[in-house]
Structure formats: C-alpha cells, structure tokens
C-alpha cells in the first residue's frame, strides 16, 4: 500500500511540474510576441481589451434584467403563502385601528369622569333631572289649546316636506322640491330637535334622534361659520340633551365643541369667523380680515353650557376671553361697531353701529350671560345697562306722524339713519327679560313701545307680513310712517317679532300679544305655505296678490318662529319657564345655573 501510494504521488507531481513548465514557456512566448509589436499595435489591443471590460461591467447586467427576458419570465406568480401573509398584515392593521379607536373612546370617557371630579363648581353636573325630568313630561300627552294645535299642524306640514324632499340635508327648497347643503350637518333636522320635544311630537323626535345617532357626523371637510353652527347645531343638541337627558345629544355636542375650539385665536382674543370641521384650520371670511361683532360675541351661552355639562372649563374659558377682551375695548356709550378685526383684535374704525345685522345679538348675550350664570357675571349686566343708555341716547327716535318708537343706526361718520331691520325686533324681548329680572320699569315701557312698532311693520303691509328692512319717516306733514324700498320688501319667515310677543305675554298676561301673534301666524299660512312642500320665504310683502316665493325654508322657521308661536298660545306658564331657562339666539333653551365658571 505504501509503495503504490508513493508512486502515484510521484507521477502526479511530475505531471504538475510539466504543466508549470508549459505555462512558463507559453508566458515567455507571449511576452516575446508582445515586445515584437509596434507601439500602435499595442495601443489598439489595449483599447479593445478596455472596451471588453466596460461591456462586461455595464451592458451585460442590463441584458440580464427583466426587461430583456422573455415575457413569461418577467411575471412570477405570487406564492400562496405570501398572499396569506399580506392578508394577515391587513387584518392586524385593522385590529390595531379598532383598538386605538376603543382607547380613544375610553380616554374620552375617563377624561369626562376626571373633569367632573376635578371641577367642583358644578353642584349637579346633570342639570336635566334638576330642571326638567322631575317636573315635566313632554311626551306624556300635553293639554294643547286650539291655537297651539294649529301651530303643531303647521310644523308637521313643514316637517313632512323636509322629510320627503330634504331629509338629513341642511335646507329645503320647497318650490322646486329640492335640498341644499350649507355645512353638511343636517342643519334643519338638528335645529328642530327641541321644537319636536316641546311640541310633544315623539314619533318625529324618535326618528330624528335615530338619524343623529347613526348618521350625524361633524367630520366634514368644509369651512363653516363659527357663529351659525354654534347657535344652530350646538345650541340645539345642548337643548335636546337638557330636555330629555339623551346621552347621544351630549356626546355629539362635545364632539362639535371640540372641533370649534380651533377657531379661537388667542393672539388677538378674537376668533376667526370660519373653521374647517375636519382639519381644524380656521380663517377670516373671504371678503376681508374682519369678523362680525355679533358673531364673535354670540357663542358664549353655548360654550359655557358645554363646560357646565362636562366639568371641563376649556370651553367657557375660550369664550370668556373673547367677552372680556370686547369689554375692555373703547365704545360709544356702550355701543359697538359691527366689525372687529380677528388679527388685531380692534373694532373697525368708525364702523356702523346698529342693533340690526352684525350687531344685534351682542346686546342680547350681554344680558343672557349674566342670567345664565345665576347673576354672578355682573360685568355683563353692567355692560348691558350701559348699552341700553346708549341706545336711548343715540339710536331711539319717534316717527311721523304716528310717533312710533324705533331704533335707527349710526353710520360711519356717526350720522343718524332711520333704518331699522326686522332683526331689531329681538330687542323688546331682551328689554322685557331685563325688567323681569329687576332692571327697572323703563325697560318694560320701552319694550312695549318698540314691540308695537314691530307689530305695525306687519300690520301696515298688504300681506300682514313684515319686510326685512324699514325706513321711518322723520319729516312732519307726511301721511305714512313706514318707507319700504323694493329690495327690502322680502320676508324670510323670521321669528323676532313673535319672539318678543311671547316674552311680553308671559310677563304681562296681556291677551293683545296673543291676538297679534295669531294674525301673523294666519298671514304665514296664507302667503308662505305651499300645499305639498312646506313654507317658503317671499319676495314682496307689499303685493298680497303675488308675493312671489323665494324657494327657501329657513331652519329658524322651525326652530324659532313656530316654537315661539306654540309657546305664546300655551296656557301652561311652566312650559320652558323664563326663571329656569335662557333662550339662545336661535331659540334653544339652556338652563340657568346657580353656580358658574368665570365668576369675575
């Protein structure tokens, strides 16, 4: 074995040695051949070799890519195991999203519980039992007067048209039997919730409540007006919660309130007029940097109520900052211009002063903030009283020849204009409420005189419906007190006059106000009712034969106008007592509290 192995090895080494010798000889031969080449030949060979290396490094890999392979080789079938793996990953993500959503809900519930524990200024964080449920059953079969029953029928006529042609949409167009969106938040439906409750319409309310619970969302990628959505949607949800105790109304209100907080601009203390509900971006109106004074000062009742039902002062703090900033600004005898800059926080210099559009509810909410707080926020009572003195000094006049008391405007140069919007007819109600809460007999007397003027704005028109704007005659020797321009002759189904009639009737028991309200209701029935599709605003109150429909039923016709008519015809003075509730600017009743935040 040993000798054989050695022989094999010797043979192999010899062969290997011969191979090495051959290689050496070949290398020497190649080297001699290379040396015999000229310089040009060597250069050409070098270029060829270099090109070959470049091709090998850069071109061949691309030739081997998918683009250059046969078609059947490009698409590789997905393995079944990979499909299952992806499905499992998707399921895991969906499960994670659901877990996160559950955690968010639990965190919100925990936060609400903690807030109610942390902020002891609320004696009863659920005012529903305190104010309503223990004393009033709205769906228990109310005793309605004959006039009330007719108002209910009018409401049901409007509601059925809305349900048929615009259910869940913001607004009904009764003439064309179509609908339109403003905010995309079911505006007419939500705005009507507490009217349904107060009228005892349980079947209709249950259906509306189901829509709120299942379909109402405020995650809308649209800019909304802070003021309008606050008084309409937020106010209605809060009122519905207080009148029924239904938790869904509270939950939706809190969600909306959280989104609206994004509009508050703490640099200037003045909120922006518009806010996107989905992404929280706020901005001034498209036409300029100013917000309307009435709009930024007519959100306080609703946001304070949010703090009072949640125990979280953030909402109340936000609006209190606005109110106190406006309180500190210079005014004209307590009167304010109608525009305020959201960037600087200052009033527009020499702006118009009016109790009409863009100014009206600033004065209304001065009084009502004081009342809502259980009369603890006295600064607003003082501001209201000062503004009332300013109205009497600078805006009140009497017309010729009937000596009708009216409220005009101060224009930019502080010249007086005898122009009065129908919106100003909210003021008799506010003055009467001030009198009711101890602010002097002169408030009541002015309320009566002004309400008489508002009634005459209806009574002297051929349709018995008021125009949107009236100019009062101040010159002697003229027969008519009222001047109505063609572009001001429309009627939008507004509530302000019947609202004031409700207050004056409640506080004086004078049947005259009921009779006047009934006349207005009949005029609405005659000139604004469409046989199958609700009610419409009209173009010309001076033409009883052809007032011409404007093809729009405003949400406030259901939330305010018909509600106040229903209340004034009630014999039950405990039905939304003025000692227990304060109405917001859209006619939604919010409780008066014994304890309050922001006691300053």
Cite the active site residues: 228, 360, 468, 496
Tokens of 78: 């997905």
Tell me, rounded to whole angstroms, the distance of Cα 573 from its chain centroid. 32
First to last CA, the chain: 116
Distance CA 143, CA 146 (A): 10
Tell me the C-alpha to C-alpha distance, in Å, between residue 543 and each of 20, 448, 531, 540, 562.
Answer: 123, 29, 20, 6, 24
**Could you tell me if 538 and 547 are in contact, meaning their C-beta atoms sit under 8 angstroms apart?**
yes
Spell out a b/e string for 496-529, using b for 16 or more CB atoms within 10 Å of the CB, else e: bbbbbbbbbbbbeeeeebbebbbebbebbeebbe
* Three-state secondary structure call for residue 406: strand
**H/E segment holding residue 410:** strand 409-410
Cis-peptide, bond into residue 401, ω within 30° of zero: yes
Distance CA 590, CA 556 (A): 17
Strands 529-530 and 534-535: what pairing?
A: antiparallel
Q: Long-range pairs for 243-249 at CB < 8 Å and ≥24 separation?
A: 243/128, 243/132, 243/138, 243/194, 243/197, 243/198, 243/589, 244/128, 244/138, 244/197, 245/126, 245/128, 245/129, 245/132, 245/133, 246/209, 248/209, 248/212, 248/213, 249/193, 249/212
Tokens of 145: 């007067």
**Could you tell me if 587 and 365 are in contact, meaning their C-beta atoms sit under 8 angstroms apart?**
no
Distance CA 47, CA 32 (A): 20
Distance CA 368, CA 391 (A): 18
**Could you tell me if 531 and 593 are in contact, meaning their C-beta atoms sit under 8 angstroms apart?**
no
Distance CA 566, CA 505 (A): 13
Distance CA 132, CA 244 (A): 8
Distance CA 143, CA 569 (A): 12
């Amino acid at each position: 074995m040993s000798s054989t192995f050695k022989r094999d090895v010797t043979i192999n080494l010899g062969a290997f040695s011969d191979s090495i010798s051959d290689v050496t000889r070949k290398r020497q031969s190649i080297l001699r051949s290379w040396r015999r080449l000229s310089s040009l030949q060597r250069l050409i060979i070098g270029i060829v070799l270099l090109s070959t290396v470049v091709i090998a490094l850069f071109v061949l890999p691309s030739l081997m890519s998918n683009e250059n392979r046969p078609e059947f080789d490009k698409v590789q079938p997905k393995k079944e195991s990979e499909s299952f793996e992806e499905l499992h990953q998707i399921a895991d993500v969906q499960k994670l999203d659901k877990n996160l959503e559950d955690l968010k809900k639990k965190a919100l519930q925990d936060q609400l519980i903690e807030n109610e524990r942390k902020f002891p200024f609320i004696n009863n964080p659920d005012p529903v039992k305190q104010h309503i449920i223990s004393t009033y059953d709205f769906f228990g079969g109310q005793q309605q007067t004959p006039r009330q029953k007719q108002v209910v029928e009018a409401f049901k006529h409007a509601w059925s048209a809305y349900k048929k042609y615009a259910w869940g949409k913001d607004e009904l167009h009764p003439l064309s039997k179509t609908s339109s969106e403003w905010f995309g938040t079911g505006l007419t439906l939500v705005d009507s919730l507490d009217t349904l409750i107060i009228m005892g319409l349980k079947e209709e309310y249950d259906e509306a409540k189901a829509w709120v619970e299942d379909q109402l969302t405020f995650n809308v990628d649209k800019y909304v007006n802070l003021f309008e959505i606050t008084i309409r949607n937020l106010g209605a949800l809060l009122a519905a919660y207080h009148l029924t105790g239904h938790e869904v109304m509270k939950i939706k209100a809190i969600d909306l309130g959280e989104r609206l907080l994004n509009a508050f601009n703490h640099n200037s203390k003045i909120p922006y007029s518009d806010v996107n509900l989905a992404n929280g971006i706020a901005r001034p109106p498209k036409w300029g940097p100013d917000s309307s004074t009435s709009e930024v000062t007519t959100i306080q009742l609703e946001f304070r109520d949010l703090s009072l039902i949640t125990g979280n002062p953030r909402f109340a703090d936000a609006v209190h900052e606005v109110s106190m900033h406006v309180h500190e600004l210079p005014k004209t005898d307590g009167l304010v211009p109608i525009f305020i800059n959201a960037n600087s926080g200052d009033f527009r210099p020499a702006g118009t002063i009016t109790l009409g559009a863009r100014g009206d509810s600033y004065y209304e909410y001065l009084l009502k903030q004081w009342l809502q707080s259980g009369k603890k926020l006295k600064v607003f009572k003082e501001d209201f009283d000062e503004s009332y003195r300013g109205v009497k000094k600078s805006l009140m006049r009497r017309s010729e020849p009937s000596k009708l008391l009216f409220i005009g405007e101060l224009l930019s140069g502080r010249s007086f204009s005898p122009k009065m919007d129908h919106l100003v007819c909210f003021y008799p109600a506010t003055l009467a409420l001030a009198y009711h809460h101890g602010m002097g007999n002169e408030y009541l007397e002015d309320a009566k005189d002004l309400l008489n003027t508002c009634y005459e704005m209806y009574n002297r028109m051929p349709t018995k419906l008021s125009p949107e704007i009236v100019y009062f005659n101040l010159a002697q020797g003229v027969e008519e007190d009222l001047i109505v321009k063609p572009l001001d002759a429309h009627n939008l189904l507004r509530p302000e006059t019947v609202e004031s009639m409700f207050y004056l009737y409640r506080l004086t028991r004078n049947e005259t106000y009921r009779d006047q309200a009934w006349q207005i209701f009949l005029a609405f029935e005659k000139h604004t009712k469409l046989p199958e599709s609700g009610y419409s605003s009209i173009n010309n109150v001076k033409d009883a034969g052809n007032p011409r429909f404007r093809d729009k039923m405003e949400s406030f016709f259901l939330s305010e106008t018909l509600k106040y008519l229903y209340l004034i015809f009630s014999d039950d003075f405990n039905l939304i007592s003025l000692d227990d509730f304060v109405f917001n600017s859209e006619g939604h009743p919010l409780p008066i509290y014994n304890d309050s935040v922001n006691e300053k």
